[in-house]
Structure 1
Amino acid sequence: MTTGTTTGAEGRAGLVAAEDVLLFVNAAITATGQREFRTQAYRQRLSLDFLHAYVRVNYRRVYATSLALDINDHNAARIVRGLLEHAADASVEERRAEGALIAARLAKLPPQRVYRLFRELRAARVNNRRTRAIMRDWLAARPDAAHDAVKYRAGLKTAVRHAHLRLDGLGTGAAPDGELGAFLFRPGSLPRYAHRLLDAWRRAHYEQGAVGELPFTVAEGFAARHGMKREAFVERMVPRMTRLERLRTQGERADGPPDPPAGVDLTVMPLTRLALYVLSLGRQARARRREELTGALRAAARRAAGPHAGSWGRVAAVLDDSYSSSGSGEKRRRPLAVALACHFLLEALAAPGAYTPLWTTGTSDPLLVVPWGPTPLGTRVVDALEHGPDRLVIVSDGWDNAPPGLAGEVLRVWRARIDPDRRTAVVHVNPVYDADGFDVRRLSASVPTAGIRDAEDLPALVEIARFSEGRTGSAELYAYLDRRAARFTETGGAR
């Protein structure tokens, strides 16, 4: 990376720091420690272990500020644990800023992941005053401690023991005094519970009728214990299921989920999650429900675009639907789902009628896309640039192999010879972490690359990707991160 705004050793040090920061941000967005198409899980974990330790020690301020970015939940929990486990390395002022970021991020994380984090902190014997205060405040903000006692029993017990909390009045919808403690630590000591959910759990041990009053994941175990037929049980539990539970149970059918799940409004689903659902359907089901699915995807894309809708001018997209976009057993079709979601989002971001999508397989029907064939990115990039777009977005894992390296050479020549004034803004977003390179795979040094997990984050990622071009110094990057952190803590973690 080079820059015209920074010179000398100080400038080079600033650029190295900026590169390190962007390297970590890309990893924290895409890597989850799970197997990818080309990388085993253990290599991902080793790579992440190194990056977390390196950035925490050398750039602790950035490490904490990353909680305000669109990183995935796996890395957010790891950052929180790292900050709390090594609290002695931070100053009083740093700990105060970190506490606000941690509280805002925990409010955004799924409760099961937070309880898992609390168990890890207990196992690591992290029990300083700040850790206990963070656990206390998070538990106090939970909407119903009794619900958590039933659904996340082991996690809640661990947190209460570790933080030495009083159970009376815990949470905003607490059970009567004494009941929660008896339920968690002295089961069977009370003949009945005044709290409806706690008593339903007691009765479900011997009464089938009480099973339907419990959260779905808890009720599943009791249903199997009572020998209830799965199909009848699921139909009975639909009113008590979350949206994702309805989608999951609908997908249990051997022939796939051909019909919309009962009680699920697809038009309000998040864009990437909806794209994953669409790809879980067979091609015949997608074709039959074309109008419904396309309408839902476009509605989700318009919500994700928000104030940016229609503001990107002429947009061309190169979208990777090669065989490697099938992902892995742990992340099935995730890269392809990101590409499909980005397709509809870019359509919403472009000016009306000014969007050109180019899939690597040459398909013209995105709704029926399947992972197939090689990755001729170079050819598609040439086709896209011929349209003269204001902005070119490439969504791919970066493995250009038909022929290898053509995309990078096309982009290099385009930048150096044809468009040195950068009239066309080019950005590459990559949904797959490359453990061997400690980063997402890049196509060209002349094109900014950002990791992406959810298509909804695309506008923000395009903004941060500009820092990887080397035309701005580390001061601008740190100022941007500070602004994101301030907004994040003010809004309590809301997107």
Structure 2
Amino acid sequence: MESYGDLVAADDVLLFVNAAITATGQREFHADAGAQRLSLDFLHAYMLGNYRDLYAGVLALDINDHNAALIVRRLLETSAEASVEQRRSEGRLIAGRLALLPPQRVYGLFRALRRAGVNNRRTRALLRDWLAARPDLAFDAVKYRSGLKQALRHAHLAPDDGELGTFLFAPLSRAHYDTPILETWRRAHYEQAAVYELPYTVAEGFAAKHGIPRAVFLERIAPRMTRLEALRLQETAQRRGVAEAVAVDLARMPLTRLAGYVLSLPAAERVERRDELTGALRAAAARVAGVHRGTWGRVTAVLDDSFSSYGSGVKRRRPLAVALACHYLLEALADRYAGLWTSGRREALLAHPVGPTPLGERILDALETAPDRLVIVSDGWDNAPPGLAAEVLRVWRTRLDPERRTSVVHLNPVYDADDFDVRRLAPSVPTAGVRDAEDVPALVEIAQFAEGRTGLAELTAYLDARAERLVAVPERTAAGGAR
């Protein structure tokens, strides 16, 4: 029998996990950026002060990069408050998480630690080991030159390669570099042809320096772009109403990013490319589903495409993109599937933010299909009429299905700063924050803890199991290499 304190701890951890998955400190539809940051900072401080071990353990879950970096920073800032065993455990978790973070995020993290004056031995060791595991420091020196230079200074490290040190601190003092990418960067100051051998973000500055027409530059640099760079460029072009000469390889796109790209297209273009876009979304969903494809039985989803699914200017259509991606993923996971949009829309590909949020009515429609699983993807602002969804779910769970023949879970892509959590629909229904549709299978696991059927011991065991998988990441990354 768990104590009341254990139950409170489990609830606190789950609340923080929801925030760490969804919140990025940016403006949402119902809250500005200041409120988001203030709310999130409080949660981090509360968790670190009361549950340090569990706070560190959250690094092993599928939280977003923003909160992973915040956790790492706060753990390193408070090293003196941790025991020897805690520092050892935290060090392994931090190393595992750093190996998963994008390099620009890690360089930004160490820049923040430098500004904060955090330069303890553990910080220097983690930075040293992370840099040693980087597959190509010369590439980093070109693409992240400022970040790498500051990191080396902060940790009092000198590059093993004297040529690399010269490039970082006096790059134009040499007439030639033996390392190809460094020599390419040097030549790009004088030769336009060398520009197209550099990473896109670096080449863009040289293109401006040489006055290369934008269309010519994009056409020739396209093979050097990463898939996300190409996607961001197209999304920006759609917002500005201009055409960019870069083809997006839909076959390689992650599911949620692909959904965001589809939503950025005008409705007429989506109709024209219906087969291509639908095929790409279903192929991406099938990759995510993997061996679980078709194993979830009868699944019905209630998907929120109300006006609030627009998100905000900095997170444009993000909630709707998550709902669209979940639609195709659940279709792949189900043996039989039905997707019901709050607007009553029939064709998912044409989704756009519109109207109120009649969640209660759509949940009634969904339950009439007698699903094995009901998945609700919504920001939780049930307002047509207010409170109907909670009442429907209460009656369903207490009177019509007390045996829980139908599993119900609410996935919420939006952090509610006022409640320090994602907005919930009903106490009887577990709610989990969702950042990317790719995380849905893991979030369904976490939802079992939110239902109250399991407590702190089971939650801690789950975190420990995920931590064991995480700490093996640096070895795999070092063996395989990644940029």
TM-score bin, normalised by smaller chain: over 0.9
The structure 2 residue matched to 1:291, chosen from 260, 275, 282, is 275
Contact 2:92/2:471 (<8 A) preserved: yes
Match of 2:480 in 1: none
**1:345 and 1:409 mapped to 2: Cα distance?**
28
Counterpart secondary structure, 1:457:
helix
Counterpart secondary structure, 1:437:
coil
Counterpart secondary structure, 1:125:
coil
**1:240 correspondence with 2:224:** yes
Q: How does 1:418-437 map to 2 (within 5 A)?
A: 418-437=400-419
**1:37 and 1:493 mapped to 2: Cα distance?**
41
Match of 2:171 in 1: 187
Counterpart secondary structure, 2:443:
helix
**1:245 and 1:360 mapped to 2: Cα distance?**
33
**1:457 correspondence with 2:439:** yes
Match of 1:478 in 2: 460
Following superposition, the deviation at residue 210 of structure 1 comes to 2.0
Contact 1:68/1:493 (<8 A) preserved: no
The structure 2 residue matched to 1:212, chosen from 189, 192, 196, is 196
Equivalences, count: 476
Match of 2:162 in 1: 178
Following superposition, the deviation at residue 491 of structure 1 comes to 4.2
Counterpart secondary structure, 1:138:
helix
Q: Which amino acid aligns with 1:465?
A: A
Match of 2:309 in 1: 325
**1:285 and 1:258 mapped to 2: Cα distance?**
13
Contact 1:392/1:424 (<8 A) preserved: yes
Match of 2:67 in 1: 75
Q: TM-score, normalised by structure 2?
A: 0.95
Match of 1:62 in 2: 54
Match of 1:365 in 2: 347
**2:10 and 2:384 mapped to 1: Cα distance?**
33
Counterpart secondary structure, 2:404:
coil
**1:332 and 1:251 mapped to 2: Cα distance?**
10
Match of 1:114 in 2: 106
Q: Which amino acid aligns with 1:50?
A: F
Report the more deviating stretch, 204-213 or 457-466. Answer: 204-213
| Structure 1 residues 363 and 303: alpha-carbon distance in aligned structure 2, compared to 1, 3 A threshold | same
Following superposition, the deviation at residue 248 of structure 1 comes to 2.6
**1:127 correspondence with 2:119:** yes
Q: Which amino acid aligns with 2:392?
A: V
Match of 1:467 in 2: 449
Match of 2:294 in 1: 310
Contact 2:219/2:245 (<8 A) preserved: no
Q: Which amino acid aligns with 1:185?
A: F
**1:184 and 1:492 mapped to 2: Cα distance?**
26
**2:236 and 2:387 mapped to 1: Cα distance?**
41
Match of 2:88 in 1: 96
Contact 2:215/2:244 (<8 A) preserved: no
Contact 1:315/1:392 (<8 A) preserved: yes
Following superposition, the deviation at residue 253 of structure 1 comes to 3.9
Following superposition, the deviation at residue 280 of structure 1 comes to 1.0
Following superposition, the deviation at residue 260 of structure 1 comes to 10
Match of 2:206 in 1: 222
Q: Which amino acid aligns with 1:313?
A: G
The structure 2 residue matched to 1:197, chosen from 181, 187, 195, is 181
Counterpart secondary structure, 1:277:
helix
| Structure 1 residues 257 and 97: alpha-carbon distance in aligned structure 2, compared to 1, 3 A threshold | farther
**2:356 and 2:16 mapped to 1: Cα distance?**
29
**2:310 and 2:191 mapped to 1: Cα distance?**
44
Match of 1:397 in 2: 379
Q: Which amino acid aligns with 1:155?
A: G
Contact 2:358/2:384 (<8 A) preserved: yes
Following superposition, the deviation at residue 118 of structure 1 comes to 0.7
Following superposition, the deviation at residue 205 of structure 1 comes to 2.1
Contact 2:59/2:68 (<8 A) preserved: yes
Following superposition, the deviation at residue 187 of structure 1 comes to 2.9
Contact 2:235/2:261 (<8 A) preserved: no
**2:241 and 2:320 mapped to 1: Cα distance?**
19
The structure 2 residue matched to 1:445, chosen from 423, 427, 430, is 427
Counterpart secondary structure, 2:418:
helix
**1:379 correspondence with 2:361:** yes
**1:53 correspondence with 2:19:** no
Counterpart secondary structure, 2:3:
helix
Counterpart secondary structure, 1:315:
strand
List alignment gaps of at least 5 residues for structure 2: 478-483
**Which digits, 9 at most, give the CA deviation of each residue in 1:332-389, with x for residues without a partner?**
11000000000011111111xx111110000110011111000000000000001111
The structure 2 residue matched to 1:152, chosen from 135, 139, 144, is 144
The structure 2 residue matched to 1:356, chosen from 328, 334, 338, is 338
Contact 1:267/1:295 (<8 A) preserved: no
Following superposition, the deviation at residue 268 of structure 1 comes to 2.6
**1:472 and 1:454 mapped to 2: Cα distance?**
25
Contact 2:99/2:473 (<8 A) preserved: no
Following superposition, the deviation at residue 22 of structure 1 comes to 0.4
Q: What is the RMSD of the two structures over their aligned residues, measured on CA atoms?
A: 1.7
Contact 1:84/1:126 (<8 A) preserved: yes
Following superposition, the deviation at residue 257 of structure 1 comes to 8.2
Match of 1:266 in 2: 250
Contact 1:107/1:493 (<8 A) preserved: no
List alignment gaps of at least 5 residues for structure 1: 1-5, 169-176
**Which digits, 9 at most, give the CA deviation of each residue in 1:200-254, with x for residues without a partner?**
2222223322211221111111111221111111111011111112223334546
Following superposition, the deviation at residue 258 of structure 1 comes to 8.4
| Structure 1 residues 249 and 471: alpha-carbon distance in aligned structure 2, compared to 1, 3 A threshold | closer
| Structure 1 residues 34 and 442: alpha-carbon distance in aligned structure 2, compared to 1, 3 A threshold | same
**1:436 and 1:50 mapped to 2: Cα distance?**
12
Following superposition, the deviation at residue 27 of structure 1 comes to 0.2
Following superposition, the deviation at residue 124 of structure 1 comes to 1.1
**1:209 and 1:457 mapped to 2: Cα distance?**
42
Counterpart secondary structure, 1:355:
strand
Counterpart secondary structure, 1:436:
coil
Contact 1:250/1:257 (<8 A) preserved: no
Contact 1:108/1:493 (<8 A) preserved: no
**2:405 and 2:242 mapped to 1: Cα distance?**
46
| Structure 1 residues 377 and 248: alpha-carbon distance in aligned structure 2, compared to 1, 3 A threshold | same
